[in-house]
Amino acid sequence: MLPAMSQETWEPPLSSPVLPGEARTDYERYLNTEELLALQKGPQEWVHRDELLFQVVHQSSELWLKLAWNDTGAAAALVAEDDLGGALRLLRRASLCMRYVTAQLDMLEHMSPWEYQEIRKVLGHGSGFDSPGVKELRPAMARLGEAFHAARERAGLSLVDLYVHGRAHEELYQLAEALMELDEWLQTWRIRHYRVVARVIGERVVGTQGTPVEVLGRLIHRVEYPELWDVRNELTARSQAES
Tell me, what DSSP letter sits at residue 2? P
pLDDT tens sequence across 167-211:
999 999 999 999 999 999 999 999 999 999 999 998 888 766 566
In a domain, 7, yes or no: no
Whether 23 is covered by a domain: the verdict is no
- Angle of CA points 54, 99, 191, to nearest 5°: 70
Residue 89 domain flag? yes
We report the CATH number of the domain holding residue 181 as 1.20.58.480
The helix, strand and coil proportions of the chain, stated in percent and rounded to the nearest 5, come to 70, 0, 30
pTM attached to this predicted model:
0.89
Average pLDDT of the chain is: 92
Q: Is residue 36 part of a domain?
A: no
In a domain? residue 24: no
Q: What is the DSSP string of 66-93?
A: HHHHHHHHHHHHHHHTT-HHHHHHHHHH
Sequence-distant contacts of 160-167: CB under 8 A, at least 24 apart: 160/231, 160/234, 160/235, 160/238, 163/231, 163/235, 164/235, 164/238
93 within domain boundaries: yes
* Containing structural domain, residue 200: 46-242
In a domain, 188, yes or no: yes
pLDDT tens digits for 125-168?
Answer: 888 778 999 999 999 999 999 999 999 999 999 999 999 998 99
Task: Give the number of domains in the chain.
Answer: 1
- The Cα–Cα gap between 80 and 151 comes to 7
Give the pLDDT score at 58. 97
Domain-located, residue 142: yes
Burial class (CB in 10 A: 0-12, 13-18, 19+), 35: exposed
Instruction: Identify the pLDDT of residue 203.
Output: 84
